[in-house]
Amino acid sequence: MGAAVTPAMYDAHLLSASAAAKLIQSGELTVEHYVEALLQRIDERDEDVKAWAFLDRDQVLANARALDALTADQRGPLHGVVIGVKDVIYTKDMPTEFNSPIYKGHFPQVDAASIAILRASGALFLGKTVTTEFAATANGPGTFNPHDITRTPGGSSAGSGAAVGDFQVPVALGTQTGGSTIRPAAYCGIYGFKPTWGAVSREGQKFFSLTFDTLGIFSRHVDDLTMMTDAFKITDDQPSSFQSLEGARFALIKSMLWPAAEPATRDALARGAELLRSHGAIVEEIELPKSFDKLPQWYNVVLDMEGSKAFLPEYSSAVEQLDSLMVGYVENKSKYTQRQYVEALDNMAALRPQFDALVNGYDAVLTPSTPDEAPVGTDTGSYLFCKIWTGLHVPVVNIPGFGGPNNMPVGLSLVAPRYHDRHLLSVTSHVGPLFEAEGGWERPVHGPTTHREANGHDRENGNGSGHGNGNGNGHL
């Protein structure tokens, strides 16, 4: 199968996407051997992590061999980059089921805009990653945190965060309506990037909220985020001039939600600010003006009202198979009015330029990602700190490096004004290595425990899908 084994192929699953792409380009590694290394990692670990909703080994290996057969002039900028795809994003060669019984076996046979862009750039899609139902519920979808399988990986992009955190794939796509990229990234100890709202086309994604839904990217390395951002042609009006932490200016914003922060997050934020200052940066704590106090409430109004429209098709055709949360949205159990919806939209729109102006003199904002480390159990955890940034449409990056009392990762976020995405990644390329090197938490390379070791028996897959469809192909 493919070329002779070289040293670069050993532990290839540990490579970043950008490092693997360079080895493939140089001929030291084939796409086929790289995919085989990832599949071997999945064989070893996914019985416990359960990150994949769909993975067709024969198809993936055939696609890898096809990429290897391309001549140099036929290869795209993402040639050989392997990506996992959250199962709310349409893929023409894999089913898209939204973790819903309503769409069991659903095969749209069309690519979402994001998938079409990446496919044309030479990327290889490894499979579909597990999501909560319609990327909407807080119920664990049967995926577990790779660093402690008694804990949640977060949601709704549970599979994407867990697969990247467990070295099963270097990059994965997710979505964010509230905190569905930043929260799993924080819980799984990896980078998560939510670009500016609208910076990447959402055509071909299942909508929850037209006002909030954004494509997200997971990786273990900042370079991979930059590579993906290049593929999506996300640009700033002016190139970033950021070059060093020495003299850089950061705003520390705890926000109106700070009382919800647990000691692990409070310690991480203090330690993050201390590290930045120790490397020559200026960190100034600032407060959001009082006009922002109702932002979380306005976010809730918009989410509920837009959810009522998003899930009406399923409510109308198969309400008995729809989670009660979505039923509640459609039936407007929160009893919000159209007037409240319009006021919330208008008030949030007015806050966005105010926030951009408030932080314009800083290189980035340092802020919590989540209230705490990943909780035990199947609940996907709190997205409380994420939703204000989602509502403001700004770009956000979760940075790993800190740990909680149970040696679970605790992330911090960097935030920038809208359409300063490339600048934010430039800042992250300096802050990220610092936090990872000196924050105190190191990402384990090998899984900590199995379900048998943790519980005394094998745990069943909680979502009833993703493993064993009886044909030895399709689902893992």
Predicted confidence at residue 9, as pLDDT, reads: 58
Task: Give CB contacts under 8 A, 24+ apart, made by 355-361.
Answer: 355/288, 355/292, 355/392, 355/394, 355/417, 356/394, 356/417, 356/418, 358/286, 358/288, 358/289, 359/251, 359/415, 359/416, 359/417, 360/417, 361/249
CA distance 296 to 386: 10
CATH code of the domain containing 432 = 3.90.1300.10
Predicted confidence at residue 7, as pLDDT, reads: 47
Tell me the average pLDDT across 225-236.
Answer: 98
Predicted confidence at residue 54, as pLDDT, reads: 98
**Alpha helix segments (H runs only) across 50-135:** 57-68, 113-120
Torsion sign across C-alpha atoms 217, 419, 212, 357: positive
Confidence check: pLDDT of 2 > 50? no
Give the whole-number percent of the chain exceeding pLDDT 70: 91
Phi first, then psi: what are they for 149, rounded to 5°?
Answer: -75, 5
Which residue from 366, 373, 48, 51 is spatially nearest to 187, judged by alpha carbons? 373
Residue 2 counted as domain residue: no
Confidence check: pLDDT of 1 > 80? no
Predicted confidence at residue 471, as pLDDT, reads: 28
CA distance 178 to 195: 13
Q: Is the distance from CB of 98 to CB of 137 less than 8 angstroms?
A: no
Tell me the average pLDDT across 380-398.
Answer: 98
Q: Does the pTM of the predicted model rise above 0.85?
A: yes
- Percent of the chain as helix, strand, coil, to the nearest 5: 40, 15, 45
Q: Is the distance from CB of 427 to CB of 243 less than 8 angstroms?
A: no
Which residue from 195, 190, 231, 189 is spatially nearest to 415, judged by alpha carbons? 195
Please report where in the chains the tokens 């696609």 appear, as a residue. 63
Residue 474 counted as domain residue: no
Residues with Cβ within 8 Å of residue 259, at least 6 apart in sequence: none
3-state secondary structure of 219: strand
Predicted confidence at residue 435, as pLDDT, reads: 98
DSSP-assigned beta bridge partners for residue 396: 194, 415
Residue 402 counted as domain residue: yes
For the chain, the average pLDDT equals 92
Predicted confidence at residue 446, as pLDDT, reads: 65
The total of structural domains in the chain comes to 1
| 392: Cα separation from own chain's centroid | 18
Confidence check: pLDDT of 140 > 70? yes
Please report where in the chains the tokens 């490096």 appear, as a residue. 401
Q: Is the distance from CB of 132 to CB of 380 less than 8 angstroms?
A: yes
Tell me the average pLDDT across 21-38.
Answer: 97
For residue 339, count other CB atoms closer than 10 A to its CB: 8
Predicted confidence at residue 452, as pLDDT, reads: 38
Binned at pLDDT 50, 70 and 90, residue 453 comes out as very low
Residue 475 counted as domain residue: no
Tell me the average pLDDT across 247-253.
Answer: 98
Angle at CA 470, nearest 5°, toward 466 and 472? 85
Binned at pLDDT 50, 70 and 90, residue 461 comes out as very low
Tell me the average pLDDT across 318-346.
Answer: 97
CA distance 102 to 153: 25
What is the per-residue pLDDT across 320-331, written as a single tens digit (0 to 9) for each? 999 999 999 999
In one letter, which amino acid is 313? P
Residue 236 counted as domain residue: yes
Residue 446 counted as domain residue: no
Phi first, then psi: what are they for 364, rounded to 5°?
Answer: -170, 165
Q: Is the distance from CB of 292 to CB of 351 less than 8 angstroms?
A: yes
Tell me the average pLDDT across 327-346.
Answer: 97
Please report where in the chains the tokens 């945190």 appear, as a residue. 145
Q: Is the distance from CB of 188 to CB of 162 less than 8 angstroms?
A: yes
Confidence check: pLDDT of 456 > 50? no
Omega within 30 of 0 (cis) for the link into 160: no
Residues with Cβ within 8 Å of residue 229, at least 6 apart in sequence: 193, 195, 217, 421, 422, 425
Confidence check: pLDDT of 465 > 70? no
- DSSP state at residue 152: -
Residue 451 counted as domain residue: no
Of 429 and 444, more confident: 429
Q: Which domain holds residue 52?
A: 12-439
Binned at pLDDT 50, 70 and 90, residue 445 comes out as confident
* End-to-end Cα, the chain, rounded Å: 22
CA count, 13 A, side-chain hemisphere, 188: 37
Q: Is 332 left (phi over 0), alpha (psi -120 to 50) or beta?
A: left
Confidence check: pLDDT of 341 > 50? yes
